[in-house]
Amino acid sequence: MSDTLIQTAQNKEYTKFEEIAKEKLQAKVAEKLSQKGYFKRLDVAKAELTESKEEYQKFFQKTLKEFGVKSQSELSDDKKKEFYDAIDAGWKGKDEKPEKGE
């Protein structure tokens, strides 16, 4: 790879030189991140986020059912406010910070 890099520079193939240099740098960065366990931590974080989203969707659907509708668009403006107040009051996600006034 280094020989190719040197040869492209000598031949003034600067676009190709830049591409090869970027590829080499990206490979080195990925290797270091992998060695430090970054990708494993990222995978764990993604899994936790997916789980949290699924839990929220279940809670949201349950609340819709309690209001007797399949979609919040079926609610009147007053009922929508009541619905979203119920969502805010009932949902406590992981690491959720309280809103002002709570």
pLDDT of 102:
53
Return all residues near 2 (Cβ < 8 A) that are at least 6 apart.
none
Residue 54, helix vs strand vs coil: helix
Amino acid at 72: Q
pLDDT of 15:
86
**Would you tell me the crossing angle of helices 38-66 and 14-35 to the nearest 10 degrees?**
80
Q: What is the pLDDT of residues 10-25, one digit of tens each?
A: 888 888 888 888 888 8
pLDDT of 45:
85
pTM above threshold 0.85: no
Output the six-digit token pair for 58: 């279940």
Q: What is the pLDDT of residues 45-99, one digit of tens each?
A: 888 888 889 999 999 999 999 999 999 899 999 999 999 999 999 988 766 665 6
**Stretch (H or E) spanning 74:** none
11 secondary structure, DSSP code: T
